[in-house]
């Protein structure tokens, strides 16, 4: 059957919908032609060879030949119109051959397949025309009762019962099956549309996400440019000025003065290197390329060592008060990243507080790992700024002339993510800040 449909129905250029409609009209035509043969046989049984017996055969001949014509002319509409015309008019003529609706067993019920077929294979406007045609046939039959033959007189009570069963049962089953088939297709279509909608929604979300990311990158770029121009200009000016003086007045300057200026240049270069390293880390972490190699280490001595090292490089000394709950606390951590965290917290505490103000560092063993906090009594941070501290290049409104890039805490957050740790900030403007880091033991 499938091969037959493929051979006689489809053209290479047919769309899925057309193929579907074509195969359906072909199946219906074959089924109705089969019914035509059966009807003709039954009428022959009751009436012998007459007009009523001949009409269903005419139906079969027209429809079957239109199958071939439509195939060879590649115009399936021929089959549709032939089928609709025959299914509407042949039962009407059978009706008029027999007489009243009662005598025929309501054979014009078949005519209703006309508007239904038009609805399925043509369009709503055509379907209305076929419906009007059906009503017209019904009207003519009910009012006028034209009779073309004497076959109606031969209809017995039993024959009428059989005719009723045939003419109501079969067309209504055809209508039901066609509707059910189309409904199934409609539901499938609906499901397809629904999943398409879901895919579209997901794609939209992805687009929205990348647009947001694009926007963020734009802001990042702007902030980066303004940060670089601001933060690099000062050290570059200092380097330029000092090297200029050394070059021009080397004969007049004392050895001590030259050394001081060289030290200044070195420290500015170091600061710029740190800034560049921070920028590189931000770039790398975007591509998720940060290397992380945790080993079991004593975090207490590590923090103390980092602070001692930091203090050695700092010209101005600061009072640092240590508060350690347990002398040795072993946790898995990456030394390089812990150094970043501690250096950032300590340098910020020093940077954002007065020279005479002390800094308190507490290290505590926790049930799930370890926590350490850096407390200072400096400028503090407003609530609005706390919410934004971990955004790249963000700096508090009260930093004034204190230099900085707004990258330290962003890198610190990334280092904490690698360790599955977290940070909490408590601060009050003018009173100081407390940064508390928690790291898990495993
Ligand atoms: P930077 O210090 O280079 O600006 P950070 O990322 O380290 O960048 O810090 C971001 C901002 O957080 C700082 O600009 C500052 O406003 C605020 N901040 C961080 N630590 C402190 C602190 N201890 N006291 C006050 N403000 C701080």
pLDDT one digit per residue (tens) for the chain, 442 residues: 666 666 666 666 677 777 777 888 888 888 899 999 999 999 999 999 999 999 999 999 999 999 889 888 888 888 899 999 999 999 999 999 988 888 899 999 999 999 999 988 888 999 999 999 999 999 988 887 677 888 888 888 999 999 999 999 999 998 898 888 878 878 898 999 999 999 999 999 999 999 998 998 888 788 888 877 878 888 899 999 999 999 999 888 899 999 999 999 998 998 899 888 888 887 776 556 788 999 999 999 999 999 998 888 776 788 999 999 888 999 999 999 999 999 999 999 999 999 999 999 999 999 989 999 999 999 999 999 999 999 888 999 999 989 888 999 999 999 999 999 999 999 999 999 999 999 998 7
How high is the pLDDT of residue 154? 87
Could you tell me the distance, in angstroms and rounded to a whole number, from the CA of residue 409 to the centre of ligand 1? 7
Helix, strand or coil for residue 398?
coil
| Nearest CA, atom 3, ligand 1 | 404
The reported pLDDT for the residue numbered 6 is 65
393 pocket-lining for ligand 1 (C-beta < 6 Å): no
Closest Cα to atom 10 of ligand 1: 406
Tell me the DSSP string of 401-412.
Answer: T----S-HHHHH
According to the model, what pLDDT value does residue 86 have? 94
pLDDT value of residue 380: 96
Tell which one of 230, 345, 393, 406 to mutate to probe ligand 1, the residue whose CB is within 8 A of the most ligand atoms: 406
Q: Is 231 in the pocket of ligand 1 (CB under 6 A)?
A: no
Ligand 1 center to residue 434 CA distance, Å? Answer: 12
pLDDT value of position 286: 59
Give the residue whose CA is nearest to atom 8 of ligand 1.
406
Q: Which ligand 1 atom sits closest to the C-alpha of 410?
A: 6
Q: Where are the beta strands (DSSP E) in 267-318?
A: 295-298
Ligand 1 pocket check: which of 274, 343, 409 to mutate, most ligand atoms within 8 Å of Cβ? 409
For residue 315, the 8-state DSSP code is S
Beta carbon of 389 within 6 Å of any ligand 1 atom = yes
Return the pLDDT at 405: 87
Instruction: Give the span between the Cα atoms of 134 and 117, in whole angstroms.
Output: 12
State the angle between helix axes of 408-419 and 255-286 in degrees (0 to 180), rounded to the nearest 10. Answer: 50
Give the integer Cα–Cα distance in Å for 340 and 229. Answer: 24
Strand 422-428 and strand 432-440: the pairing is antiparallel
Residue 348 Cβ inside 6 Å of ligand 1? The answer reads: yes
The model scores a pTM over 0.75: no
Q: Read off the tokens for 250.
A: 């080397």
Beta-bridged to residue 102, according to DSSP, are: none
The whole-angstrom separation of Cα 136 and Cα 150 is 24
- CA–centroid distance, residue 395 to ligand 1 (Å): 6
Q: Which CATH class is domain 295-440?
A: alpha beta
């Amino acid at each position: 059957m499938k091969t037959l449909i493929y051979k006689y129905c489809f053209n290479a250029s047919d769309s899925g919908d057309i193929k579907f409609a074509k195969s359906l009209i072909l199946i219906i035509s074959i089924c109705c032609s089969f019914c035509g043969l059966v009807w003709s046989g039954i009428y022959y049984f009751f009436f012998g060879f007459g007009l009523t017996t001949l009409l269903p055969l005419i139906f079969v001949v027209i429809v079957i030949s239109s199958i071939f014509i439509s195939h060879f002319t590649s115009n399936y509409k021929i089959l549709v119109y032939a089928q609709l015309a025959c299914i509407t008019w042949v039962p009407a003529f059978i009706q008029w051959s027999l007489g009243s609706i009662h005598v025929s067993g309501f054979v014009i019920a078949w005519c209703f397949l006309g508007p239904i077929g038009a609805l399925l294979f043509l369009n709503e406007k055509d379907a209305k025309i076929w419906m009007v045609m059906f009503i017209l046939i019904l009207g003519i039959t009910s009012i006028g009762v034209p009779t073309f033959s004497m076959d109606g007189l031969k209809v017995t009570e039993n024959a009428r019962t059989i005719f009723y069963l045939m003419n109501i049962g079969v067309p209504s089953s055809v209508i039901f099956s066609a509707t059910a088939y189309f409904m199934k297709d409609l539901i499938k279509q609906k499901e397809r549309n629904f999943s398409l909608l879901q895919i579209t929604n997901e794609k939209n979300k992805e687009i929205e996400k990348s647009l947001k990311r694009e926007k963020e990158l734009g802001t990042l770029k702007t902030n980066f440019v303004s940060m670089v121009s601001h933060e690099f200009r000062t050290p570059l000016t200092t380097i330029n000025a000092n090297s200029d003086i050394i070059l021009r007045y080397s004969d007049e300057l004392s050895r001590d003065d030259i050394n001081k200026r060289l030290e200044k240049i070195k420290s500015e270069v170091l600061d710029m290197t740190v800034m560049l390293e921070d920028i590189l880390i931000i770039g790398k972490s975007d591509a998720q390329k940060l290397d992380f190699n945790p080993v079991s280490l004593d975090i207490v001595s590590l923090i103390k060592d980092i602070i001692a090292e930091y203090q050695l490089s700092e010209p101005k000394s600061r009072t640092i008060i240590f508060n350690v709950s347990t002398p040795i606390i072993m946790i898995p951590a990456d030394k390089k990243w812990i150094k970043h965290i501690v250096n950032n917290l300590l340098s910020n505490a020093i940077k954002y507080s007065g020279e005479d103000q002390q800094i308190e560092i507490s290290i505590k063993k926790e049930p799930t790992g370890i926590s350490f906090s850096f407390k200072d009594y400096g400028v503090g941070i407003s609530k609005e700024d706390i919410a934004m501290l971990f955004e790249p290049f963000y700096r508090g409104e009260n930093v004034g002339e204190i230099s900085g890039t707004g990258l330290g805490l962003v890198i610190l957050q990334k280092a904490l993510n690698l360790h599955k740790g977290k940070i909490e900030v408590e601060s009050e403007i003018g009173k100081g800040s407390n940064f508390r880091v928690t790291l898990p033991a495993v």
